[in-house]
Amino acid sequence: MASSVMLAVLVSSLIVSSAGNFYQDIAITWGDQRAKIFNGGQLLTLSLDRVSGAGFRSNEQYLFGRIDMQLKLVGGNSAGTVTAYWLSSEGLNRDEVDLEFLGNLSGDPYVLHTNVYTQGKGDREQQFYLWFDPTKNFHTYSIVWNPRNIIYFVDNILIREFRNGQSIGVPFPHNQPMRIYSSLWNADEWATRGGLIKTDWSKAPFTAFYQNFNADACVWSSRGSSCRTMSNTNSAPNKAWQTQELDPLSRRRLRWVQKNYMIYNYCSDWKRFPQGLPPECRH
C-alpha cells in the first residue's frame, strides 16, 4: 500500500490543473499590503506580522464542485500561525468545509486540521500529519463536494470522506452556495500544542504562497446553479467529481493513510461524546 501512495504522489506531481487568475478570481478582503498578487495573477502571497494577518475570498459562489489550490506553507519556526483554506456559506446556519494548517516549531511537522460544518454545527475534527515538508515546495490540496459526499485530497491522495447522512438525520451541505476563503493569522492561544508554544515575532513576517487555483464547479448566481440540477445528465458536461464516490480500493487506501497519518478523529473520542458517538460515525 505504501507503494500505491508514493505512486499517487508521483502521478499527481505530473498533473497541473488549468490555473485560474488571482486578479480575476479572488478579492483580497483584509490585511492591506500583506496580501499581494504577482506574475500576472499566477502567484499570491499572504503575510502575517505582529499587527495583522491577511485573507482573501473567491469572487464566485459555488454549489458543488472540485476545488484545487497549491500552497507552500510558512517555513521555519511557524509556531502559533494558522494558514486556513476553506469553503463557507453565509449566515449563522452556515455550511463549511475546512482545511487549517497549524504551524509548529522548526523541524516539527505541521498539523493538518479538517472539519465539516452543517447548518452551523461543526465538531467533526480530524487531524493529520503530512508525509512531506509542506514548506519546501507547492503541494495540491483539493476538496470534492457533490450531493453524495465531501472528499479531501492531498496531492490527489484521499485523506478524508464525509458522506451524505441525511437518511439518518445528519444534515449535509446541499443547498447553500459557498465561497472559497483563505487566511493567514495568529492563533497562538491554541494552534501549537494547545497554546503552549507561542508565536516568535522575531521571525515575522510569516508568508504563505498560493498558485494554480482551479474551481471545476457549479457557479451560483441569482439565476441558480450553472449546472442546474445535478441529476439531469444533460444539464452540464460530464465531470468525474459530480458522482465521485469511494470504491473498495479507495477505501483501503483511505484506511491506510488514516492508520499511518491521522492523529485525531472525533469518531474515536469517547471522552468527548460519553453518551455515544455522532450518528455519522456509524454511517
Rounded distance, CA 218 to CA 213, Å?
A: 15
Report how far residue 55's alpha carbon sits from residue 217's, in angstroms, rounded to the nearest whole number: 22
Catalytic residues: 96, 100
Give whole-number Cα distances, 281 to 94, 100, 168, 233, 254, in Å: 21, 22, 11, 31, 15
3-state secondary structure (DSSP) of residue 230? coil
Burial of 37 (0-12, 13-18, 19+ CB in 10 A): middle
For residue 205, cis peptide bond before it (omega within 30 degrees of 0): yes
Give the residue from 203, 184, 168 showing the smallest Cα distance to 47. 184
- Determine the Cα–Cα distance for residues 17 and 33; give it in Å rounded to an integer: 28
Strand partners, 121: 118
**10 Å Cβ neighbour count for 55?**
19
Nearest to 44 by CA among 63, 66, 76, 22: 22
- The phi, psi pair for 6, rounded to 5°, reads -65, -35
Which three cell numbers mark 202?
522575531
